[in-house]
Amino acid sequence: MIFSGSTGLSGRVVDDVFLYILAICVFLLALITFLMVYFVIRYRREKHPRPAEIEGSTWLEITWTVIPTLIVLSMFYYGLTGFQFLRNTPEGSMVVKVTARQWSWLFQYQNGAKDLELRVPVGRPVKLILTSEDVIHGFYAPAFRIKQDAVPRMETYLWFQPTQTGAFDVLCSQYCGLEHSRMLTKIIVLPEEDFVKWYEGRKEEVALKGPPSGSKLHQEKGCFACHSTDGTPRVGPTFKGLFGKTEVVGKTEVVLTAGKERTTVADEAFIRKHITEPNVDIVKGYPPVMPKVNLTEEELTALVEFIKNLK
């Protein structure tokens, strides 16, 4: 690769187009700079006190019109073929659904497994179908030179084919709120046999699915992006100790309801209400940005129990 950090077929295509356009620009810059310096020296006033009048040249005008036009058309053609390559997904691609939400990514595989990181096999094309639960996000994987918006209530797509194993960054390229900079994850490219082993293991997990885990829901539903479990303040209050001290000293929270302050106990009803009706009561000092999360009653109970046990 000419440019560091590039990998995959898409990376090669984008880098080749960029390098082609860059080479033309550098050549033209050097040519124009050389001609400017040459003309300044060659036709300076002391050598030509009485400048000649030049009426024009049809051939010169045709030349500097046709040649730049051909150069621009060549860049357009090269860019168009690269664009078509990036938009035409190869048959047999592995399909992964990607859901963006403030402020995390969720990847769902064809076997039903879900993960917060994208694991793919080396050498196989992967098609990502993107959507968003809230605002517009941008799926951006610099190493693969791919970027596509994830838009609420519609699906977009992109594809890539990794050519080497490793872990590669994924960022959000659209400003999506207070924790935009934390919306990071990884594409983990595995050897084929390692990926198959991992994939089959996740398939068994889905088949043997038991009661929902509060800890897993905290990750899958994106709660971790705003609510820490170690006492660290984020966009929302930490879950650590939120419920645990109620029976000892009376844990209270100052909240705003319809713009008015009131103090309430952070009991189970308080936690449930803040999950199902997130912006009715706002904990003082935090912005009203929590989206409504779709949970079954079983999932809601599991998540509440998880929060209650965070001492």
Give SS3 for 41: helix
pTM, full prediction: 0.71
CATH of domain 8-87: 1.10.287.90
pLDDT for the residue numbered 67: 93
Domain boundaries for CATH 1.10.287.90 within the chain: 8-87
Are the CB atoms for 136 and 150 separated by under 8 Å? yes
Fold of the CATH domain 214-308: Cytochrome Bc1 Complex; Chain D, domain 2 (1.10.760)
pLDDT for the residue numbered 150: 95
Q: Over pLDDT 70: what percentage of the chain?
A: 86
Q: Name the residue with tokens 């699906």.
A: 155
CA pair distance 295, 303, nearest whole angstrom: 9
pLDDT for the residue numbered 250: 40
Q: Which of 1.10.10.10, 3.40.50.11260, 2.60.40.420, 3.20.20.20 would CATH assign to domain 94-207?
A: 2.60.40.420
**Positions of the chain with pLDDT under 50:** 1, 208, 244-250
Q: pLDDT per residue over 27-60, tens digit each?
A: 999 999 999 999 888 888 777 777 777 777 888 8
pLDDT for the residue numbered 115: 87
Q: How many CA atoms lie within 13 A of 198 on its CB side?
A: 16
Domain boundaries for CATH 2.60.40.420 within the chain: 94-207
Domain boundaries for CATH 1.10.760.10 within the chain: 214-308
Backbone angles phi, psi at 30, to 5 degrees: -65, -45
pLDDT for the residue numbered 297: 78
Give the angle subtended at the CA of 206 by the CAs of 205 and 209, to the nearest 5°: 85
